[in-house]
Structure 1
Amino acid sequence: MTPADLSRTVLRVVRRAVEQGELRGDVPERIVVERPRPGGRGDYATNAALQLARPAGRPPHEVARLLADGLVREPGIAGVEITGPGFLNLTLEDDQSVVREIRAAGLRYGHAADPTGQVFQLHFRRELRAAVWCDALRRILRAQGALVRTTCEERVPEAWAPLGLHIDAYGTPPAPGLPFTAPVPAPEQTVELGPDATRWALLHPAAHDRPRLTADEHLVQIETNPLFRVRYAHARTHALTRNAADLGCTAEPGPVPAESGKPLQAALAEYPRILAQAAEHGAPDRLARHLAVVADALLDFQYDVLPQGDEKPGAAHRARLALAEAAGTVLAGGLSLLGISAPEHL
């Protein structure tokens, strides 16, 4: 169950309570469901009861108990706990609906199913980071179903060609472009790190942070290098598939009886929301940082995937392998939207 699915589930329970006269007030258009904050419980949390308490004329804790009674009867929800003044903490059943969705969608997981009809024009100045930022944003907006046109005030240097920038026209556009936060310029206007490391160095920091294009930070294969972790995690998913094939084990979605798999499942479920936010806020850095979250969760989980010692492959191993392969798909798809390659060997 993805956060969007869970939000719709909470909204359905609220609507039912209003229709049955158990709760007074209008049904909100949207219910926010998010990961618990530090110290929180469960897989997800929502402040829906606090949001509804005032219109209902009832204490938040009382509204929370009412919603909790309805939520525990919903498929996919294993438990609901009320904390604080009325926060609902939701624990999901250990299912593989997200993995199945990723396997069905492939690299298009998190993309819009159909064109939205939205048309955007991205205009940027002749500056390296602005060019890469707009190119990544173009890819993300297109993934969300929009049509996008990119323009630059003047022609970019030939030296930037390896970055694979897509520019539809040069000069001043006749109409205003999509408003987005112009990122802090790069200190160097070179691609000496290579296209992948250069793009990552310019896209991973937030727009207000000054990027660093240094070899010791982006080319060295060490744990402190997030690009290395992301690409290494992707390569590890392919290694797990190869090693599993040697054991006669193939991936098959199912329950994952490993506590270390929960953070990875949650990160994969969050991916569509992160893509939508990156498009809405003109912030490809959000996608880059979430890929690091997925990678770190996969690297923690990898040791639980295959049999150890004389252990024979079973249903649990096939389910874990399916989860790991889903992570590889998300990492490859996310890197592609950033214009960065995802090698199978590293």
Structure 2
Amino acid sequence: MSAAVEAGELAVAVPEHVTVERPKNRDHGDYATNVALQLAKPAGKPPRAVADVLAARLRGITGVTKVDIAGPGFLNITLDTATQGELARTVVEAGAAYGRNEALKGLRINLEFVSANPTGPIHIGGVRWAAVGDSLARVLRASGADVTTEYYLNDAGVQISKFAASLQAAANGREVPEGGYVGEYIVDIAKAITEAVPGLLEKDEDEQLQVFRTEGLKLMVAEIKRSMDEFGTHFDVWFSEKSLHDSGAVGKAIERLREQGHVFEQDGAIWLRTTDFGDDKDRVLVKADGDTTYFAADAAYYLSKRDRGSEVSVYMLGADHHGYVNRLKAIAACAGDDMDRNIEVRIGQFVKMLRDGEEVRMSKRAGNIITIDDVVEWIGVDAARYTLARSSTDSTITLDINVLTSQTNENPVFYVQYAHARMCSVQRKAGELGITRSADFKPELLATEWESDLLGQLGEFPRVLATAGELREPHRVARYLEELAGTYHRFYDNCQILPKGDEEVTDLTHARLWLADATRTVIANGLTLLGVSAPERM
């Protein structure tokens, strides 16, 4: 394309992005692109005329055996087997770097996820965001973005007061107050605090309450950090809501919004006119009694992210937070930002768990919720992370404990991990036979339909990864891995890799070892992006 532009055959600017895909019907070549349709209007020519120019240029490239023009101007490109096969060497030599790209190079993203109130263990909804959010951070970084992962601790307000009162009641053998927290974890934390602070229950009620508030919060946050760490999810920043109030950031945020002209006073309260930017109603920042609202803290928090260098702030919220989308976007607009670019609010749907066909609803420890520790105990970290990340967050998902603990193809994480273990087994057997992958690689020998299909799948990985980052959809990586695993299994079943009995080691043996190793590399890279292990034996 660049050559055609430079030669004056096309008077257009070379586009930054061109879509090149693997056709589902292999009769349409190895790769297909609609770039001629993309360039037709700016070039002032019919799409087929543009396609004729590009096809002529492509036919002159070494390794391209055929270029056909289909329909209104689609280009179908066929490569020779040696050019296709060279991809195996490219993948193996790139190793862990294969698939990484610069689609989001330099973009500074603040990615906030989980952010459950520190008043109890992480529940199953938070577990989904832990898997998806951490995977998304990995995918974004692999696409060149500068990502800060963040957990927002709601450590101020009414819920923390109820948490402290619940601990105090448990320690003193009283009924938990209405609206308080229950479960074994409350009893455990209350006991830990009374043992750590001698004579606590002899103090007056207000002193007790303050200690239970301070120490209970510390223990609960430590517990959340432990569970996140054991789940393989790590945060760069643990941000305290209380710090916004203590530092005066909330008041400063209100003044900054006032300077933008969107703050007004009515009925003794201070409001932000969010209806100017799509919210269903204006929002109170400071109530008539002088107390600031949660919304004021939300505004201060968003401005804090921007002040710390975030170009795009991504909020990942639970299914009960649909009402937050417009109000958070309105905060960005009221602050003078682009609400369609500088802020993204993503909503995750519910998760159900089944055992023996029946829905599981209760936790032994928390009483009325399923916790992250329950999920890990029942199905393990790998199965939980993979399964929670493999579906679009727009959809409700069901985790079937029986399926996810089985070693069958119905279990998606087993299916993908088994493909990796199968390739590692091939490498071990090759070593036992004294076969090492030869540097004299003959890629033209990878000529069967199964080898061609596998090479085509490997070539798709960088595009899949870039798209997953741009669309914030890490589930695309998981679905790709399942397709790749299936393609490898078909290759393995139809193409003998290692010699049997007295058969000789041939150039084809070495070529197929390169291809198997390339596939193992890509599956390992994809599983790493999802925070899932790539076992060598199963």
For the aligned pair, the TM-score class normalised by the smaller chain equals 0.7 to 0.9
Select the residue among 439, 449, 456 that pairs with 1:259: 449
Partner of 2:293: none
Distance 1:210 1:69 in 2: 49
Structure 2 partner of 1:211: 397
Question: In 2, Cα distance between the equivalents of 1:50 and 1:141?
Answer: 30
Counterpart position of 2:149: 150
Q: Deviations over 1:267-325 (max 9, x none)?
A: 11111122222222221111111111211111111131233565422111211111111
Tell me, yes or no, if structure 1 residue 175 matches structure 2 residue 305. Answer: yes
Within 2, Cα distance between the matches of 1:322 and 1:109? Answer: 15
Alignment CA distance shift 1:130-1:171 (3 Å): farther
Shift in Å, 1:341: 0.8
Alignment of 1:118-267 (within 5 A): 118-124=107-113, 125-126=115-116, 127-154=126-153, 155=221, 156=224, 158-167=226-235, 168-172=237-241, 173=301, 174-175=304-305, 177-178=313-314, 179=344, 181-187=346-352, 188-189=370-371, 190-191=375-376, 192-252=378-438, 253-255=441-443, 256-267=446-457
Distance 1:257 1:245, change over 3 A: farther
Please report the TM-score for the alignment, with normalisation by the length of structure 2.
0.57
Per the TM alignment, residue 158 of structure 1 is displaced from its structure 2 partner at its CA by 4.7
Q: CA deviation at 1:184?
A: 1.6
Contact 1:136–1:337 (8 Å) recurs in 2? yes
Aligned positions of 1:298-337 closer than 5 A: 298-303=488-493, 304=495, 305-307=497-499, 311-337=503-529
Cα distance change on mapping 1:157 and 1:249 into 2, 3 Å: closer
Which protein has the larger Cα radius of gyration, Structure 1 or Structure 2? Answer: 2
- Distance of aligned partners of 1:246 and 1:39 in 2 relative to their CA distance in 1, 3 Å threshold: closer
For residue 213 of structure 1, give the secondary structure of its aligned residue in structure 2.
strand
Alpha-carbon shift at residue 230 of structure 1 (Å): 0.6
Q: What's the offset of the Cα at 1:263?
A: 1.7
Q: In the alignment, residue 414 of structure 2 is paired with which amino acid?
A: F
Q: Deviations over 1:172-205 (max 9, x none)?
A: 4422622253322433443221110110111011
Match of 1:5 in 2: none
Q: Quote the offset at 1:345 in angstroms.
A: 0.5
Corresponding residue to 2:98 among 90, 109, 117:
109
> Equivalents in 2 of 1:53, 1:300: separation in Å?
40
Q: What is the aligned partner in structure 2 of residue 3 from structure 1?
A: none
Please give the secondary structure, in 2, of the residue aligned with 1:88.
Answer: strand
Deviation sequence 1:92-118 (CA, Å, 0-9, x none): 2223332222222212212258x9443
Q: Using the alignment, how far apart are the partners of 1:106 and 1:336 within structure 2?
A: 12
- Contact preservation (8 Å) 2:151, 2:239: yes
Gaps of 5+ in 1: 1-10
The whole-number CA distance in structure 2 between the counterparts of 1:180 and 1:286 is 19
Q: Label 1:230 to 1:71 Cα distance change in 2 as closer, same or farther (>3 A).
A: same
- Matches of 2:345 and 2:442, distance apart in 1: 41
Aligned residues with identical type, % of pairs: 39
| Alignment partners' CA distance in 2, 1:102 and 1:318 | 15
Partners of 1:151 and 1:171 within 8 A in 2: no
Q: 2:131 touches 2:386 (CA, 8 Å); kept in 1?
A: no
1:126-181: CA deviation from partner (whole Å, max 9, x where unpaired) = 21111221111122222333332222233437545421210231434422622253
For residue 79 of structure 1, what is the aligned residue in structure 2? 66
CA contact (8 A) 2:22 2:460 kept: no
Is the 1:274–1:286 Cα contact (8 Å) retained in structure 2?
yes
Supply the distance in 1 between the matched residues of 2:65 and 2:58 (Cα, whole angstroms). Answer: 9
1:82-101 mapped onto 2 (5 Å cutoff): 82-94=69-81, 95=83, 96-101=85-90
Cα distance in 2 for partners of 1:120, 1:49 equals: 34
CA shift in 2, pair 1:313/1:181, >3 Å: farther
2-side partners of 1:47 and 1:146: how far apart?
Answer: 27
Q: Is the 8 A contact 1:180 1:281 kept in 2?
A: no
Distance 1:170 1:40, change over 3 A: farther
Read off the aligned partner of 2:240 and give its amino acid letter.
G
Cα distance in 1 for partners of 2:138, 2:58 equals 37
Q: Which amino acid aligns with 1:271?
A: F
Partner of 1:279: 469
**Pair 1:65-2:55 in alignment:** no
Distance 1:53 1:146 in 2: 32
Contact 1:112 1:145 in 2 (8 A): yes
**Structure 2: distance between partners of 1:204 and 1:25:** 40
Cα shift at 1:19: 3.4
The AA in structure 2 aligned to 1:287 is V
Unaligned runs of 5+ in 2: 117-125, 154-220, 242-300, 307-312, 315-343, 353-369
Change (3 A) 1:85 1:145: closer
* TM superposition shift of 1:74: 0.6
Q: Check whether the contact 1:163–1:195 (CA below 8 A) recurs between aligned residues.
A: yes
Quote the offset at 1:72 in angstroms: 1.1
Q: 1:55 to 1:280 in 2, by over 3 A?
A: closer
CA-CA distance at 1:38 after TM superposition: 5.0
- CA 1:26–1:118 in 2, change beyond 3 Å: closer, same or farther? closer
More strand by share: 2
Give a deviation string over 1:208-240, Cα, whole Å, max 9, x none. Answer: 122222222222111222211110100011111
CA gap 1:317/1:198 in 2 versus in 1, 3 angstroms? same
Tell me what 1:6 maps to. Answer: none
